[in-house]
Amino acid sequence: MDTGIIELPLIRIYETSFYNNYIVNQIDFAFLNNSYQVFNGGASYYNPGINLLTRFGIVDLFEDYRLTAGFRFAGDFDSNEYLLSFENMKGKFDFVLSNPPYRKVGSGRVNPLEEKALARHEILATLEDVLRTGHHLLKNKGRLCLIYPATRTADVFQLLRHFHLEPKKVQFVYSRPEDESSLVLVEALKEGRTQVKVLRPFILYEPGGQYTPQAEDLFR
């Protein structure tokens, strides 16, 4: 019988619980941590020799906390290493998208309307501000996507690496096939490895002025 009374589900408070994220076992000739070595008066560099490395990580259900631990047993039993790290990732994100102000102050005509001027020029936020904030908001291996004028591609790449955001995908945007590129789309990975993939050009219009099939698929 419908009494008209809505019964709310029981609300349970989330209790932090962890699960195993990864386990690594390997034999190699590397240090567990890249650290400074004591100067011994010469140019020699201490080689750790063959060793056994074990490292594992655990993360909570919501990926707010991550714990990493490991140890390295050296073959000569003289340079053993231990590692323990804790990361608080609350408020961090897997993905950040930014369509920031484009032009530097003093370049190009500044729109007399304040809201348009702020949206098109770096009046209140520079490229450095955008990338610094993106790095702060992202988890490790999180992705940052940017849209910028193609003429500033070199600036974008240089500053991305400065903030430990490695470019992974790049795509240049053209109004028409015969035009120069107007925009560049960049996807970067926080603390990623060096390797970039250049995607095929994105062309908006056919010679007759209609959208290309590529653009139509995007706008659907």
Average pLDDT over residues 78-84: 81
The structure tokens listed for 102 are 């484009």
Question: How many residues in total does the chain contain?
Answer: 220
Amino acid type, 79: S
Last-in-domain residue among 88, 115, 140 = 88
Question: Domain for residue 8, yes or no?
Answer: no
List, in sequence order, every beta strand (DSSP E) within the chain.
18-28, 51-60, 65-74, 81-88, 93-98, 138-149, 165-174, 183-190, 197-198, 202-203
- In terms of domains, do 178 and 159 share one? yes
Question: Domain for residue 31, yes or no?
Answer: yes
Question: Domain for residue 118, yes or no?
Answer: yes
Mean pLDDT of the chain: 85
- In terms of domains, do 167 and 189 share one? yes
- Structural domain for 210, as ranges: 93-219
Q: Check residue 203 and give its pLDDT.
A: 94
- pTM of the model as a whole: 0.66
- In terms of domains, do 98 and 190 share one? yes
Q: How confident is the model at residue 138 (pLDDT cuts 50, 70, 90)?
A: very high
Per-residue pLDDT at 39 exceeds 70: no
Q: How confident is the model at residue 128 (pLDDT cuts 50, 70, 90)?
A: very high
- In terms of domains, do 51 and 108 share one? no
Are the CB atoms for 91 and 139 separated by under 8 Å?
no
Last-in-domain residue among 88, 113, 136 = 88
Where residue 155 sits, what CATH number does that domain have? 3.40.50.150
- In terms of domains, do 38 and 147 share one? no
Biggest distance spanned by C-alpha atoms of the chain: 89
Strand arrangement of the beta sheet that strand 51-60 belongs to: 18-28, 51-60, 65-74, 81-88
Are the CB atoms for 177 and 207 separated by under 8 Å?
yes
Q: How confident is the model at residue 32 (pLDDT cuts 50, 70, 90)?
A: low
Name 208's bridge partners.
none
Q: How confident is the model at residue 31 (pLDDT cuts 50, 70, 90)?
A: low
- In terms of domains, do 47 and 151 share one? no
Q: Check residue 122 and give its pLDDT.
A: 87
The structure tokens listed for 9 are 């589900």
Q: How many domains does the chain have?
A: 2
Average pLDDT over residues 6-15: 73
- In terms of domains, do 166 and 63 share one? no
Question: Domain for residue 26, yes or no?
Answer: yes
Q: Please name the residues in contact with 195: beta carbons below 8 A apart, sequence gap of 6 or more.
A: 168
